[in-house]
């Protein structure tokens, strides 16, 4: 059986798996009949033996299913996605606005900063914090000036900005 499980012959593996499932079903039917005729004091031993047998068969069936899956992957590897097209147009450098704490400028500042810096996965929190500090002036800069320049403080600085009066949306 091990040779078949470890092979890449899908037909042989499938045949063995189907045979095991068929035999397991037959054994389960016979077990029901046997348990009906066994005395109660013998029943626990029979049930344990049946459960161990069924568990072993299920383990082998699982290994066979894994072998089938692995063989199918070898025979039909997933196609590689086509390369992403490269942009032929070079966009101009985007200059982010500075924010001083003026409540009327908050929405436009935050929306642009959020898309350009805050939600980017390729930037580390310390880099995002650096951008944020460089873009804040006046009251907004003073608000987060108490945070030590560390990656762990970036989310706290953002949360503080968002919780202030100008962090509330003005539409």
From CA 58, how far away is CA 66, in angstroms rounded? 12
Contact 166, 140 (CB under 8 A): yes
CB-CB contact of 167 with 105 (8 Å): no
pLDDT digits (tens, 9 = 90+) for 82-111: 776 665 666 677 789 999 988 889 999 999
**Residue 99, phi then psi, degrees to nearest 5:** -130, 125
Q: Which range has the top average pLDDT, 34-48, 70-84, 148-162?
A: 148-162
Q: Is the dihedral of CA 83, 88, 93, 99 positive or negative?
A: negative
pTM of the full structure: 0.47
Count CB atoms within 10 A of the CB of residue 168.
Answer: 11
């Amino acid at each position: 059986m091990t040779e078949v499980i470890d092979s890449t012959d899908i037909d042989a593996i499938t045949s063995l798996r189907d045979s095991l499932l068929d035999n397991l079903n037959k054994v389960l039917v016979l077990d029901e009949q046997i348990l009906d005729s066994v005395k109660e004091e013998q029943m626990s031993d029979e049930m344990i033996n049946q459960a161990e047998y069924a568990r072993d068969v299920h383990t082998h069936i699982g290994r066979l299913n894994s072998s089938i899956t692995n063989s199918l992957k070898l025979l039909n590897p997933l196609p590689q996605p086509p390369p992403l097209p490269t942009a032929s147009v070079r966009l101009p450098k985007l200059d982010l606005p500075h924010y001083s704490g003026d409540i009327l400028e908050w929405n436009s500042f935050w929306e642009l900063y959020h898309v350009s810096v805050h939600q980017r996965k390729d930037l580390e929190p310390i880099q995002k914090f650096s951008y944020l500090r460089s873009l804040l002036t006046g009251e907004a800069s003073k608000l987060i000036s108490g945070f030590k320049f560390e990656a762990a403080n970036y989310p706290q600085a953002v949360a503080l900005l968002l919780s202030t009066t100008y962090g509330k949306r003005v539409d």
